[in-house]
């Protein structure tokens, strides 16, 4: 039986590591000197195969879910990463978003987990989207393959986001992403899978009075011509809507894991997170063996990532 958790988590971690050396580089610079392989050093002067906060926080969620859903435990693990460099590639925290930092400070000051996340419109960075993927596997175990029909499942997705990002727009981005991930496991044709995931999520949010006002920010995803958008129309900064669009556009316009990740990275900007968000889906769709072996060999703490993913897989498939 395929370990889809390993597929997704390794897909995310490897893509993150491909993007780290060129984070903040402009698209124009990468057009002149595109990333063609996993590199070393660069922006953060890190060794080849180093992953960032995207993977660290994803691993925190994986580790926590092994014992079940516990929001306080997830936040405790996030804080352990931030303050002690646990769950990091080289015992060093070199990248954290402001909204995430502020949410962890609130948690340290005694605020309950589900009230720690930023709520303003300016708190819609991609910091919850980048780490949301593991909740898919928990929801499938508890609510079945069609968890999208269950309001409680969406509430859990939103709660996981709210630990750091509590604005409704971040909730919707995470909901769409998890629904697309779910459909990638069930629908063979990748374009149909992506569209099915977008459609089921958008239907939920459009029919939900609380979220309906925010749906307008995601309407480009519902356009049948979204895949055909020229790259100049795709933004790849840290705004959650832009990251979701860039990741899905990269997935739409590729036919294998490596092409998808390199396409995402070469958009420039927030390269590690756009790649991680795209890479998690590409790993899920194309499988662990589709990830270039030389990239997996180079990845920091590969055994640790694989063992943690395997532990959650065993726990959820008892």
Contact 108, 222 (CB under 8 A): no
Q: Give just the sign of the alpha carbon dihedral 38, 39, 40, 41.
A: negative
Annotated domain spans of the chain = 4-316
Contact 116, 101 (CB under 8 A): no
User: What are the φ and ψ backbone dihedral angles of 268, each rounded to 5 degrees?
Assistant: 80, 180
Q: How confident is the model at residue 1 (pLDDT cuts 50, 70, 90)?
A: low
Q: pLDDT tens across 264-283, in order?
A: 999 999 999 999 999 999 99
Is the model's pLDDT at 307 over the cut of 80? yes
Rounded-to-integer distance, Cα 132 and Cα 160, Å: 7
Q: DSSP 3-state assignment of 125?
A: strand
Is the model's pLDDT at 223 over the cut of 90? yes
Rounded-to-integer distance, Cα 299 and Cα 276, Å: 14
Q: To which H or E segment does residue 73 belong?
A: helix 71-84
CATH 1.10.3720.10 fits 4-316, yes or no: no
Give the residue, 8 or 145, on which the prediction is more confident.
8
Length of the chain, in residues:
318
Q: To which H or E segment does residue 196 belong?
A: helix 190-206
Neighbour-count burial for 221-242, b at 16+ CB within 10 Å, e otherwise: beeeebeeeeeeebbbbbbbbb
Residue 244: per-residue pLDDT: 98
DSSP 126: S
Q: How confident is the model at residue 2 (pLDDT cuts 50, 70, 90)?
A: confident
The model's pTM = 0.97
């Amino acid at each position: 039986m395929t370990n889809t958790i390993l597929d997704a988590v390794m897909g995310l971690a490897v893509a993150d590591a491909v993007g780290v050396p060129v984070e903040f580089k402009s698209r124009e610079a990468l057009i002149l000197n595109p990333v063609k392989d996993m590199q070393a050093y660069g922006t953060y002067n890190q060794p080849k195969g180093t992953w960032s906060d995207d993977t660290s926080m994803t691993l925190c969620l994986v580790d926590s879910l092994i014992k079940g859903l516990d929001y306080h435990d997830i936040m405790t693990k996030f804080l352990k990463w931030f303050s002690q460099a646990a769950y990091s590639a080289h015992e060093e925290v070199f990248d954290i978003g402001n909204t995430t930092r502020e949410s962890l400070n609130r948690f340290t000051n005694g605020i309950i987990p589900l009230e720690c996340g930023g709520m303003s419109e300016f708190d819609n960075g991609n910091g919850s989207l980048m780490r949301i993927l593991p909740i898919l596997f928990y929801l499938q175990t508890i609510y079945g393959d069609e968890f999208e029909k269950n309001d409680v499942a969406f509430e859990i997705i939103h709660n996981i986001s709210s630990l750091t990002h509590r604005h409704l727009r971040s909730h919707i981005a995470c909901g769409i992403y998890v629904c697309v991930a779910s459909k990638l496991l069930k629908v063979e044709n990748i374009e149909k899978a992506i569209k099915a995931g977008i459609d089921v999520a958008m239907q939920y949010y459009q029919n939900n009075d609380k979220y309906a006002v925010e749906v307008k920010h995601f309407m480009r995803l519902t356009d049948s011509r979204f895949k055909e958008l020229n790259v100049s129309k795709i933004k790849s900064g840290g705004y959650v809507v832009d990251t979701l669009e860039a990741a899905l556009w990269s997935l739409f316009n590729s036919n294998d894991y490596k092409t998808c990740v390199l396409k995402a990275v070469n958009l420039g900007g927030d390269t590690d997170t756009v790649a991680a968000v795209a890479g998690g889906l590409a790993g899920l769709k194309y499988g662990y063996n589709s990830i270039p072996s030389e990239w997996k060999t180079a990845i920091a703490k590969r055994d640790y990532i694989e063992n943690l993913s395997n532990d959650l897989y065993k726990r959820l498939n008892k």
